[in-house]
Structure 1
Amino acid sequence: MELTFLGTGAGVPSTKRNVSSTALRLDSGEVWLFDCGEATQHQILSSTITLSRLTKIFITHLHGDHIFGLPGLLGSRSFQGGESELKIYGPKGLAHFIDTAVKISGTHLRYPLQIVEIEDGFQVQEQGFTIKVALLEHGIDSFAYRIEEADKTGALNVEKLKSLGVQPGPIYQKLKNGDSITLDNGKVVHAGGVVGPQIKGRHLVYCGDSRFNEKTIDFALNADLLIHEATFSAQMASLAYEYYHSTTEEAARIAKTANVKKLLLNHISSRYQETDMVDLIREARAVFANTDIVEDQMTVHIPITKPSSK
């Protein structure tokens, strides 16, 4: 899996940062999109992401810098020949926004569109993933999504199987499924002896706009990756609170307390120039060392945690 950040700015676009949108490319090649600010489809044109692979969109909240790119993207997917179903998750009111935009503009969608309006505690299974939702603290309802990949069966010890006289074929799948097999010589091969340790699925948490919120700590607990807003520097904590946003230091405190593996800071105010990034990252790393600030068109790989050998 890998994330491509299409828009990493806050509120309004700047010459360096577009407004919010992030694409998650699964190992299958399928693409899930988180938020869809204005000009998201233009950002996609500059990336390796294609609308034909897009199957799901997750909207964190209904502020314009997170949804104003949605009508155009839906139309373009249709114009480009998209016919497979697209499913969109988001807060109450999202269906009305999309329905109004599509109808008033006369946009014809050639594909089925399913809109699922979420609430705090919502949970759903999607193609080997569990998706969980938590309400954050913002001026309007804003949510975090936790994407949990299912654990996978460990790798077969092919060399050991061959040494036992077991050749590749359907019998390998039986062992992967946990079944035992009996060889022609009567020897029983148990799956536990030839299948490696289970491979833990990856967990990532993508947060919408929010003040510092201790609830996020529990929601992000032990995640492989946390994407959290850092609209303001640590020195502007009072302003961040007033406008329902977080600082670099507050995001880092959440990551540290939640014991996540890596923190990516997102949603950076346009008041900060590229020369300010050194100070912003220093503030966060003073609290949580494994922190980076994302930028537009940055791609981050989410590696599989290799199981320890037996």
Structure 2
Amino acid sequence: MDLYFLGTGAGMPSKQRNVTSIALSYVDERGGFWLFDCGEATQHRIMHSPLRLSKLEKLFVTHLHGDHIYGIPGLLASRSYHGGETPLAIYGPKGIKHWIEITLKLSQSRLNYPLEIVEIEEGIVLEDDHFSVETARLEHRVDSYGYRVKEKEKPGRLLIEKLRNLGIPSGPLYGKLKQGLDVDLEDGRKLAAGEFLGLSTPGRTVAILGDTRVCEASLKLAENADVLVHESTFASKLHDLAFKYHHSTAKDAAMTAKKAAVQTLIMTHISSRYQGEEEEELLNEAKSIFPNTFLARDFWSYAVPSKKAKQNK
């Protein structure tokens, strides 16, 4: 599981930072990637990255400000030309469906794949065999959401030799045990699944927040996360400006990370006023509160560390 930052700027693009888009790559789990927000020229950034547009499976939109959505129409159209034929799902606040549909209609764009658009509310918006995605409304000038992506625990491998030594041939019983289900044999023996599975691996949690002031929803989504991606538009000396425009400072992001007991903080959505050495002001400010902090840059990636396997109960 890797985070790949395609755009890390705030408001408008600069020579150093494009507007917001973050990829969550899960090649080992599913063979593709998800996007969180899609600012203008995101498809161009993907062309200069290890990602393949045809492998995009889902797009999660935090809010409807232009620097987070203006890249969507072009990306959707280009996905067809890049060989994308598998279904694509888009999740976002109310209004995203109308905006995308009218844009595609007026531009006469034709997609070669099924497109599903889901307008979200707070709660679980997606759950499958590998992940669940929970969202909550943050505090911004428009409806803005954060996403909590939780990887499900990976069960340990089935101890086949142990089963064979007990005279149990392969078959449907193996599948049940692999799923963690206890089995009653016809001869009266009971097989506890935990005794026939190797060490399981706990899932990882990544919280990716949209634009926001400090709020309780941020803490809820970030609680005990392995990685928190938090906007850090300004340094704390511009706190009043950040508050006025419903944004966060580097200090705000660090305080949220500390209170939520996350493992790693990654700051993004950086104002274009911070260039070169001025960026260090943001990083140093955050690290003084939460040492394990990184300042994202365009085309920078972060591998979310795997967790240690644990014994099944």
**Normalization by structure 1: what TM-score?**
0.91
Conserved 8 A contact 1:161-1:167: no
| Alignment correspondent of 1:278 | 280
Find out whether 1:161 has 2:150 as its counterpart: no
Q: Distance in 1 between matches of 2:251 and 2:200?
A: 36
Which of 95, 98, 103 is residue 97 of structure 2 equivalent to? 95
List per-residue Cα deviations over 1:123-168 (Å, max 9, x = no partner).
Answer: 332443211110011111110011112222124457x739947899
| Alignment correspondent of 2:11 | 11
| Alignment correspondent of 2:50 | 48
| Alignment correspondent of 2:224 | 222
Return closer, same or farther for 1:100/1:55 CA change in 2, 3 Å cut-off: same
Q: Supply the AA of the counterpart residue of 1:15.
A: K
Which of 65, 68, 83 is residue 66 of structure 1 equivalent to? 68
Q: Distance in 1 between matches of 2:221 and 2:102?
A: 33
List per-residue Cα deviations over 1:257-309 (Å, max 9, x = no partner).
Answer: 11111111010111001212222111111111111011111111112211346
| Alignment correspondent of 1:306 | 308
Q: Distance in 1 between matches of 2:179 and 2:116?
A: 34
Q: Distance in 2 between matches of 1:113 and 1:189?
A: 45
| Alignment correspondent of 1:130 | 132
Conserved 8 A contact 2:73-2:103: yes
Q: Distance in 2 between matches of 1:176 and 1:44?
A: 38
| Alignment correspondent of 2:81 | 79
Q: Secondary structure at the match of 2:123?
A: coil
List per-residue Cα deviations over 1:73-115 (Å, max 9, x = no partner).
Answer: 0010122232221110001111111112111111111211111
Which of 240, 243, 254 is residue 241 of structure 1 equivalent to? 243
| Alignment correspondent of 2:267 | 265
Q: Which runs of 5+ in 2 are unaligned?
A: none
Q: Distance in 2 between matches of 1:283 and 1:214?
A: 22
Conserved 8 A contact 2:63-2:92: yes
**Normalization by structure 2: what TM-score?**
0.90
Segments of 4+ in structure 1 off by > 6 A?
A: 165-168, 186-189
Q: Distance in 1 between matches of 2:259 and 2:114?
A: 42
Return closer, same or farther for 1:126/1:172 CA change in 2, 3 Å cut-off: closer
Q: Which moved more, 1:191-200 or 1:96-105?
A: 191-200
Return closer, same or farther for 1:190/1:280 CA change in 2, 3 Å cut-off: same
Q: Supply the AA of the counterpart residue of 2:297.
A: E
After superposition, where does 1:24-35 map in structure 2 within 5 Å?
A: 24-26=24-26, 27-35=29-37
Which of 128, 141, 146 is residue 143 of structure 2 equivalent to? 141
Q: Distance in 1 between matches of 2:102 and 2:274?
A: 35
Q: Distance in 1 between matches of 2:239 and 2:150?
A: 31
Kindly tell me the number of residue pairs found equivalent between the two proteins: 308
| Alignment correspondent of 1:290 | 292
List per-residue Cα deviations over 1:41-65 (Å, max 9, x = no partner).
Answer: 0000011111111111000001110
| Alignment correspondent of 1:193 | 195
Q: Distance in 2 between matches of 1:88 and 1:131?
A: 13
Q: How far did residue 188 of structure 1 move?
A: 7.4
Q: Supply the AA of the counterpart residue of 1:34.
A: F
Q: Secondary structure at the match of 2:91?
A: strand
Q: Distance in 1 between matches of 2:281 and 2:164?
A: 58
| Alignment correspondent of 1:109 | 111
Conserved 8 A contact 2:202-2:310: no
Return closer, same or farther for 1:192/1:51 CA change in 2, 3 Å cut-off: same
Q: Which moved more, 1:24-33 or 1:45-54?
A: 24-33
| Alignment correspondent of 2:2 | 2
Q: Supply the AA of the counterpart residue of 1:253.
A: M
Q: Supply the AA of the counterpart residue of 1:7.
A: G
Q: CA RMSD in A?
A: 2.4
Conserved 8 A contact 1:134-1:219: yes
Q: Which moved more, 1:120-129 or 1:222-231?
A: 120-129
Q: Supply the AA of the counterpart residue of 1:25.
A: S
Find out whether 1:23 has 2:23 as its counterpart: yes
Q: Supply the AA of the counterpart residue of 1:201.
A: G
Return closer, same or farther for 1:153/1:122 CA change in 2, 3 Å cut-off: closer
Q: Supply the AA of the counterpart residue of 2:133.
A: I
